[in-house]
Amino acid sequence: MIRHGDKKTLRSNGLRHSRRRGAIVILLVAGIGMAAITTTLDFADRTISEYKISKGEMSGFRALLLAKAGFQGGLGALRKIPEEQLYKSGLGLNPPPVPLGGGFIYYKLQGEDGKINLNSVFNADTKDINLRNQEMAQRLLERLGLKRELLTPLIDWIDDDSQGNTEASYYEKLVPPRKIKNGYLYSLSELTSVKGFDPKIVYGSQKPADYAEKYSKEFMSEEEKVLMNESDFVLANNYTAFVPYQRNYDDRINLNAAPYFVLMSLSDFMTRQAAMKILKLKIQKGGYLKDTKDIENLPEFQVPSVGGITLYKELAGEGTDVSGGRIKTKGEIFRITAVGEVSMDTGRQSEEPSSKSGKIAVRRITGIFDLTNNMMLYYRED
């Protein structure tokens, strides 16, 4: 028989056990609830991330389509608009942004044969160095305050022999090792793989720190001051690299597209006054020189040059053994840069360029086009 006191004790113990079980159940339920909430939040976070990625991909695809449209617009302008009109209008070479499809299209045309093509320094067929183009390329380095010896590793990079100082053995010892090209550069970006041409050299400004102080008195007018800008001091704006459609292409420098330092590299006898005269004369003629004869009788080009001939005759190839000379006025190789921009805001159609429209997706297409042979020499989508 259970006594009354024992019954009371049992009831108290049972109550405590019941409360303990209830607390455990509550904790289990709370734990399960927290786990469910955490899982839900994690799933939601991943879903939102995937949505943003897919939204970005969709916007990127639309931007790429706009860039392609801009690229075709630039290509059409080159094919249909006379070169003189392209240069004189200005809008043909660099038109304002065009709103289309909820985004913007930009394109820009540049005469690529106004730069020195590094591939023209070496002839892969004859295995010979083009001494004229080598001298111009080295002279450009000097004009920018760099050492002319920088060009030697580039020739080793292009030629397929092993006779130089920077051949395969040099690049194999680098960390990480690098394979030498032994062929033409497909684009200027490859130049950063060559000894001595790091990205700062190729894409950075070579403008001396004391340039403004040193040359402020030499630039006699405001007009002359605006003929040069920061971009002129960047090696990548003076050099180019493309593989021509035909090896015997016209590698003369296009005066209508040549920047200041390329002009200064045409001859050892080229002066700052002569280079500036070309740039000013181009402005005076509406942005375009029709013929090299336009500079023939200018005093700056009557100075004595190599062999006693005038500077003009040296550049034009008259009275020299250099076939065709060093200059021309008809453009044949052009760079096309097209950009497409699309706003990434949901359901929003951008009405302003990127600087004011918040988050955007941007795609860029770059090509080098041989207008004479109707041939794309280089094409890249970014």
Percentage above 90 pLDDT, the chain: 59
229 vs 26, residue with greater confidence: 229
The per-residue pLDDT for 19 is 56
Label residue 109 by pLDDT band (50, 70, 90): very high
The per-residue pLDDT for 125 is 81
The per-residue pLDDT for 352 is 59
Average pLDDT over residues 92-97: 86
Residue 165: which residues within 8 A CB-CB, separation 6 or more? Answer: 152, 153, 156
Tell me the two tokens of residue 195: 């000894």
Assess whether pLDDT exceeds 80 at residue 243.
yes
Q: How far apart are CA 111 and CA 334, in angstroms?
A: 5
Q: For 19-63, write each residue's pLDDT tens digit.
A: 555 555 555 545 544 544 454 345 445 544 544 555 557 888 888
Q: For 256-273, write each residue's pLDDT tens digit.
A: 999 999 999 999 999 999
The per-residue pLDDT for 190 is 96
Label residue 216 by pLDDT band (50, 70, 90): low
Q: Which CATH number fits domain 116-328: 1.10.40.60, 3.40.50.11540, 2.60.120.260, 3.40.190.10?
A: 1.10.40.60
Which of 200-214, 219-233, 352-366 is modeled with the greatest confidence? Answer: 200-214
The per-residue pLDDT for 149 is 95
Label residue 347 by pLDDT band (50, 70, 90): very low
Q: How far apart are CA 97 and CA 167, in angstroms?
A: 46
> Which 3 state secondary structure label does DSSP give 323?
coil
Average pLDDT over residues 189-214: 91
- The helix (H) or strand (E) run that includes residue 328 is strand 327-328
Q: Which of 224-233, 342-351, 357-366 has the lowest mean pLDDT?
A: 342-351
The per-residue pLDDT for 37 is 45
- Distances in Å between the Cα of 172 and the Cα atoms of 14, 154, 177, 178, 186 are 82, 16, 5, 6, 21
The per-residue pLDDT for 9 is 53
Assess whether pLDDT exceeds 90 at residue 161.
no
Nearest CA among 78, 135, 125 for reference residue 253: 135
In this structure, are residues 278 and 137 in contact, taking their beta carbons and an 8 Å threshold?
Answer: no
pTM attached to this predicted model? 0.82
The per-residue pLDDT for 172 is 93
Q: For 272-317, write each residue's pLDDT tens digit.
A: 999 999 999 999 999 999 999 999 999 999 999 988 899 999 999 8
Q: Each residue of 100-124: b (16+ CB within 10 Å) or e? A: eebbbbbbebbbbbbbbbbbbbbbe
Average pLDDT of the chain is 83
